[in-house]
Amino acid sequence: MKIIIPMAGKGLRLYPYTINMPKPFFSIAGQYIIKRILKNLHEIIYTFSVKEIIFIIKPFYNNSKIENELKNFSYNIGINPIIYYQEKPMGTADALLKAKKSLIGPIIVVFSDTIFYNNTSFEKDINKASSNIIWTKKVSNPNLYGIVKCDPYNSIITNFLEKPKNFVSDLAMIGLYYFQDGSKLKKELQCMSYTEISHFKEYQLTSVLEKMREKGVKFVSKPIKKWIDFGDKKTIIASNSKILSIEHKIYNLIHKQVLLKNSIVIQPCSIEKGTIIENSIIGPFVSIGKFSKIKNSNIRQSIIQNYTLIVHANLINSIIGNYSKYNVDSKEVNLGDYSEIF
């Protein structure tokens, strides 16, 4: 079995943070999103003796750094990494087509903006599978997702739709797929790349799955217990809060080399090594990266990255990038890497 992680999207919904790096390298509560994904795949990797993991990335000016990080993450869990490039962001189906040499045998496709907690049924689902599996979750806003419609008497999927305008189903695809035979997926991807079937001028996996279904390929829907989405700024802040709520009960998320001077931390929060906080109130639901400095500020429900300076700020629902400086009494702000507002 192989695992494929497409991570070559434009990242437009998370600008300006994705200008210099792919979204999976955004840090949440002290860990890159991509590291969290690999951690959640650990049981699958171990149970099925996965030996190969495929990353599909887009060209960045710092590609060598990104490649080295991905290789190190993979080697640390005993897997051989393979990296493909999607030069132009033409959608999820086009991204997978770039990895066509690896689309052989059973494969798991995991999108890089989603993680899942405490889902112990993955291995059972795959071991018992008599068809391909699409893991799903009921949502209140299905028009924002690729969705599936199922036979009312069983879990067999009868329709795939991408962001339907009218209600068809509330079962959203959460970005985790199991294909019994990757060559069938490859065959349809190759057909799709020469047709007019696309969504917003991009080739989406949803359309490919629907074409496969129409040709007799069977898919079943399996429910996910807990799903955390990192699609845009709003969901990232909400997901940061969810992760902190879970992990602060298990780990000490305040590094021992954090210096607090006349300050209060309201849990749950994550504060990394070397950060100094003076005359401030932090929390709840705040993640702060390493070697940052915060003075005379009040910060709630926000994410502060590494090596950042914040002074005289009153922030909520905000994200401030790496190596940035901020000194304004504002309620909500989005500031990318290497930025300054004084």
Q: Kindly report the CATH number assigned to the domain that includes residue 78.
A: 3.90.550.10
Asked whether residue 14 falls in the same domain as residue 116, the answer is yes
User: For residue 10, what pLDDT is reported?
Assistant: 60
In the prediction, which pLDDT does 208 show? 93
pLDDT at 64: 81
pLDDT of residue 333: 87
First to last CA, the chain: 52
What's the Cα-to-Cα distance from 300 to each of 230, 258, 319, rounded to whole Å? Answer: 19, 18, 11
Q: How confident is the model at residue 152, as a pLDDT?
A: 86
In a domain, residue 335? The reply is yes
β partners of residue 311: 295
Q: Clarify whether residues 210 and 282 are in a common domain.
A: no
Alpha-helical regions (H) of the chain:
33-40, 42-47, 63-76, 92-97, 122-127, 182-192, 205-214, 233-247
Does 255 share its domain with 227?
no
207 and 292 share a domain?
no
Residue 194's pLDDT band, with cuts at 50, 70 and 90, is low
Whether residue 237 lies inside any domain: the answer is no
User: How many CB atoms are located within 10 Å of the residue 309 CB?
Assistant: 18
Do 166 and 220 sit in the same domain of this protein? yes
User: Is residue 280 included in any domain, yes or no?
Assistant: yes
- Across 228-253, average pLDDT: 89
Flag whether 67 is in a domain: yes
**Residue 296 sits in the same domain as residue 193:** no
By residue range, what is the domain housing residue 287? 244-341
Angle between helices 182-192 and 205-214 (to 10 degrees): 110
The whole-number average pLDDT for the span 113-139 is 82
Who contacts 141 (Cβ-Cβ below 8 Å, separation ≥6)?
none
Same domain for 95 and 24: yes
- For residue 236, count CB atoms less than 10 angstroms from its CB and return exposed for 0-12, middle for 13-18, buried for 19 or more: buried
On whether both 37 and 90 belong to a single domain, the answer is: yes
Q: Which of 181, 197, 231 is where one domain is finished?
A: 231
- How, if at all, do strands 157-162 and 132-138 pair? unpaired
Question: Two tokens at 106?
Answer: 């059973």
- Of 338 and 300, which is predicted with more confidence? 300
Specify whether the CB–CB gap between 330 and 315 falls below 8 A: yes
Count of CB atoms situated within 10 Å of the CB of 281: 15
Residue 120 has pLDDT above 90, yes or no: no
pLDDT at 200 over 60: no
Q: Mean per-residue pLDDT for 143-160?
A: 92
Residues 188 and 309 in one domain: no
The answer to whether the beta carbons of residues 243 and 269 sit under 8 Å apart is: no
The reported pTM is 0.88
Max CA separation in the chain (angstroms): 66
Q: Does residue 236 fall inside a structural domain?
A: no
Residues 115 and 143 in one domain: yes
| Domain count within the chain | 2
Percent of the chain with pLDDT over 90: 56
- Please indicate whether residue 221 or residue 24 has the higher confidence score (pLDDT): 221
The rounded distance, in Å, linking the Cα atoms of 268 and 283 is 7
- pLDDT at residue 216 in the model: 95
The candidate with the shortest Cα–Cα distance to 171, out of 191, 151, 199, 200, is: 151
